[in-house]
Structure 1
Amino acid sequence: MVTERIRAEYLLRTTGDPARVAAVIAGEQSSGTFVRLPGESDALRERSAARVETLEEVADNGAPALPGAHPDSAAAALRSFRMVLSWPFDTVGASIPNLVATVAGNLFELREVAGLKLLDISLPEAFMDAYAGPGFGIAGTRALSGVAEGPLIGTIIKPSVGLGPEETAELVDKMIEGGIDFIKDDELQADGPACPFEERVRAVMAVVNRHAERSGKRVMYAANLTGDLDQMRRRHDLLVELGGTCAMLSLNSVGLAGVAAFRRHSRLPIHAHRNGWGYLGRSPANGWDYAAWSKLWRVIGVDHMHVNGLANKFWEPDDSVIASARALLTPISAEAPRVVMPVFSSGQTIRQAHGTWARLNSADLIFCAGGGIIAHPSGVAAGVCALREAWDAARAGIPLDSPTASPALRKAMETFR
């Protein structure tokens, strides 16, 4: 029997009495009843019920209340609280899917809740024993990619859809010839009839292998394996057979149990794409914080995770992006660090290198630019050269517009404003 408790931290918004609302949430997420039942003794409750460990008021963010939130009175004001709940490990067990049902289940639906954001989760070491964790992480990714230090300069095959297998391979050829470190499929390109997975991966890996034989460097190609579990296993095995060094999965499509099963099978780094994250994390007052959500995938065992990028094309502010990247680089525990490599993407160019370095102060990352490389007026090689030079300048404390900037970088500065 494990005596440790599972802890989850939330931002709770309510118009009701906070102590009563917290107790309602704890009851819903453990005993699950609003009245005491026969056999539900004080001893049983003490042994198995959730506890409210912390409840302290914080500044409210002013967001609207959730639909259906039931105010205690028409004049009741919304207030915010940092709330920490805990559960005995023995009522849940070392199961990530059942953990989610416990810490992020029906509590979001309670009418007393006007907003609820899951901020962080603390887990007993039994979870680390039950799940393998990253198979490669930062060190393994660097070893496989041949990039010993500095960021991995990466790109995404664009257009997202429309290219056939041979057209994809031709583009990959140009990218590798240009000196790229990392190439990934777009999340929308998996196994459609217009570009079947097997044909695409055979064509791409033929190019990767040819360049590796010539140069000694095997560019890391993250092939999108997303599909049913049996499909993903077959695709993984083909990728391994062909010499591939990375498998990409869309986390929200595959699910926690699917990724866990795939991790047990995989002999490759898992490049975790977060598409769909917005419906979980975009609200400032409801859903998940990235630190809590990403921790589950780190425990299971992905190796890279997307965090968006600075001055990106989406809604997310820079502070949130950097906080997400720092969360991935922060050990879960001394015994099981499960640190994974952040992936910066979404409208990134030479313009974001200095800011990313200054704010993160780490080059343990993959920096992906699609148009920021491919759209360089002088071609893909110049795009790669300019981005690599921008990162070298950032790390050396040299301004982007230094007089020593190469023609490729100067052209990139003119193009990407």
Structure 2
Amino acid sequence: MQGLEATYHIESTPDQIGARAEALAIEQSIEMPPSAVRQPEVLREVLAQVVSIQEAEKGYYRVVLRFAGQTTAFETAGLLNVLFGNCALQEDVELVDLNLPSELLSAFAGPRFGIVGLRQLTQVHDRPLTCTALKPQGLSPTQLAELARTFALGGIDIVKDDHGLTNQPYAPFAERVPIIQKAIAEANAQTGGHTLYAPMLTGGPKTLLERLQTAKQAGVQVVLVAPMLLGLPAFAELVQDLKMAVLAHPAFAGHRIAPPLMLGKLFRLLGADATIFPNYGGRFAYSTETCMNLAQAARVPWGHLRPTLPVPAGGMTVERVEEMVGFYGTDSMLLIGGNLLAAGDSLLERTQAFVQKVAASVGKI
């Protein structure tokens, strides 16, 4: 049968891996003993098949299963349940990749803006984009707005909320978003720049609608969302009709799904225009191989889906700009937060140095 192919990394032994793979195929498709199924068409059309088993390293195997596309119901929750439903509870299994047939891929629109759209919004076409975060927690809306103004005067392309900023009493969403957006707009008017503000969007369905309305009324064009905190089906539906670009944050995404698949392919499939991830050499880093695979998954041609902008982050410094531009290329966005804020009274100068160094690094690729 043609269908969805999923690749798993399974801990097992040579004598048990065959049975383990078959058990996984059953668990993720019909979820009952095949011998108890009385309808031959179910065994023929619904029961998942083991496509291949290869040893990955001692004690671990790379197993590819093929599922009938119709079992996903062509929707986000169904797809996730087929890929990593019950087996997410089994500690010997990691989901590492997927390959979607065209009929299933066409059910997902992917990024609405993508790399090209983000470049149009920021008016940056010949270098990596720059990004920073408003922090620390505990600042008032006025204090956050002053930081945002300085970043915008320094030429940062996207100033985002720290992902921990939601609706705290010291910085309520409805109060801080208009103030910060206004401060950035004033700085843009002063410099002729195009800095964007990305507020952190959280909450259940009712709260999301309320906060989206607040952001739209303020003139926001980009939002920061943690897809796993919202829930991936809710995230996918949110993006469908959203006329704002989406910067995806990896909070709560540390499940047994390989980062290139989760943050690169799945977030892209469900509509993220840019995806943040911990860069190698940072304070909680992925390996260089994982980072490159993630960036490639976000940008490689994939059917009708627009490419997603990779955003390496997590303790990055201005001193590493040239290295990161050389590693990721121009279709990326560098996110530096704490290293800029540590400049204190020299924040504007440090921010300007960051932006200038990114531009200068392009010619050295």
Find the aligned partners of 1:86 and 1:339 in 2 and give their Cα distance: 26
Partner of 1:124: 101
Say whether the 8 Å CA contact 1:330–1:337 is kept in structure 2: no
Aligned to 1:207: 183
The CA distance in 2 between the partners of 1:302 and 1:108, in whole Å, is 23
Deviation string for 1:60-91 (max 9, x for gaps)? 2xxxxxxxxxxxxxxxxxx2221100011122
Secondary structure of 1:292's counterpart equals helix
Q: Does the 8 A contact of 2:325 with 2:361 survive in 1?
A: yes
- Structure 1 unmatched ranges of 5 or more: 61-78, 281-286, 399-417
Is the partner of 2:276 in helix, strand or coil?
strand
C-alpha distance in 1 between matches for 2:138 and 2:125: 35
Distance in 2 between the 1:152 and 1:299 partners?
Answer: 22
Q: Does 1:313 align with 2:283?
A: yes
Alignment CA distance shift 1:220-1:203 (3 Å): same
Alpha-carbon distance between aligned partners in 2 of 1:53 and 1:101, rounded to the nearest angstrom: 19
Q: Is the 8 A contact 1:155 1:183 kept in 2?
A: yes
Q: Mapping of 1:360-379 within 5 angstroms?
A: 360=328, 362-376=329-343, 379=346
State how far apart, in whole Å, the 2-side matches of 1:187 and 1:33 are: 42
Q: What's the counterpart of residue 43 of structure 2?
A: 45
Q: What fraction of aligned residue pairs are identical, expressed as a percent? A: 25
Of the structure 1 ranges 8-17 and 141-150, higher mean CA displacement relative to structure 2 is found in 8-17
SS of the counterpart of 1:227? coil
Is the contact between residue 250 and residue 272 of structure 1 (CA under 8 Å) also seen in structure 2? yes
1:265 partnered with 2:241? yes
Q: Among 89, 95, 104, which residue is 2:69 paired with?
A: 89
Letter in 2 for 1:353: V
Contact 1:236 1:266 in 2 (8 A): no
Q: Does 1:27 align with 2:31?
A: no
1 CA distance for matches of 2:116 and 2:56? Answer: 40
Map of 2:83 onto structure 1: 103
CA deviation string 1:228-269 (max 9, x = no partner): 122222222222222211011112110111101211231100
Q: Mark the CA change 1:14 to 1:28 in structure 2 (over 3 Å): closer, same or farther.
A: same
SS in 1 for 2:35: coil
CA distance 1:391–1:206, shift in 2 (3 Å): closer
- In 1, are the aligned partners of 2:152 and 2:188 still within 8 Å (CA)? no
1:392 paired residue number: 359
> Within 2, Cα distance between the matches of 1:29 and 1:297?
22
User: What secondary structure sits across from 2:106 in the alignment?
Assistant: helix
Separation of aligned partners in 2, 1:38 and 1:86 = 19
Give the CA deviation at 1:365.
Answer: 1.6
Q: How far apart are residue 314 of structure 1 and its match?
A: 0.9
Give the whole-Å Cα distance in 2 for the aligned partners of 1:133 and 1:141: 14
State the distance in 2 between where 1:214 and 1:310 align. 36
Q: Is the 8 A contact 2:77 2:233 kept in 1?
A: yes
Secondary structure at the aligned position of 2:199 is classed as: strand
1:10 offset after TM fit, Å?
Answer: 1.3
1: CA distance, partners of 2:284 / 2:233: 29
Judge conservation of contact 2:113–2:306 (CA < 8 Å) in 1.
no
Question: Quick one: which of 185, 191, 196 aligns to 2:167?
Answer: 191
Stretch deviating more after TM superposition (303-312 or 291-300): 291-300
Alpha-carbon offset, residue 290 of structure 1: 1.6
Amino acid in structure 2 at the alignment position of 1:313: R
> 2:309 is matched with which residue: 341, 345, 352?
341
On the 8 A contact 1:310/1:356 being kept in 2, the answer is: no
Native 8 Å contact 1:236 1:247 kept in 2:
no
Match of 2:216 in 1: 240
Matched residues in 2 for 1:393 and 1:147: separation?
A: 14
Q: Which residue is equivalent to 1:148?
A: 125
* Alpha-carbon separation, structure 2, partners of 1:7 and 1:340: 22
Q: Residues 111 and 305 of structure 2 are in contact (CA less than 8 Å); yes or no, is this contact kept in structure 1? A: no
Q: 1:350 aligns to what? A: 318
Match for 1:312: what amino acid? G
Distance 1:319 1:90 in 2: 34
Distance 1:83 1:288 in 2: 14
Counterpart in the other structure of 1:290:
259
Greater mean deviation of Cα atoms: 173-182 or 44-53: 173-182
Distance in 2 (alpha carbons) for counterparts of 1:303 and 1:127 = 20
Q: Which amino acid aligns with 1:291?
A: P
Deviation track 1:18-54 (CA, whole Å, cap 9, x = no partner) reads 222111111111221136225243x430121100011
Range with bigger deviation, 226-235 or 176-185: 226-235
Residues of 2 paired with 1:58 and 1:143: CA distance? 42
- Report the AA paired with residue 47 of structure 1: E
- Tell me what 2:203 maps to: 227
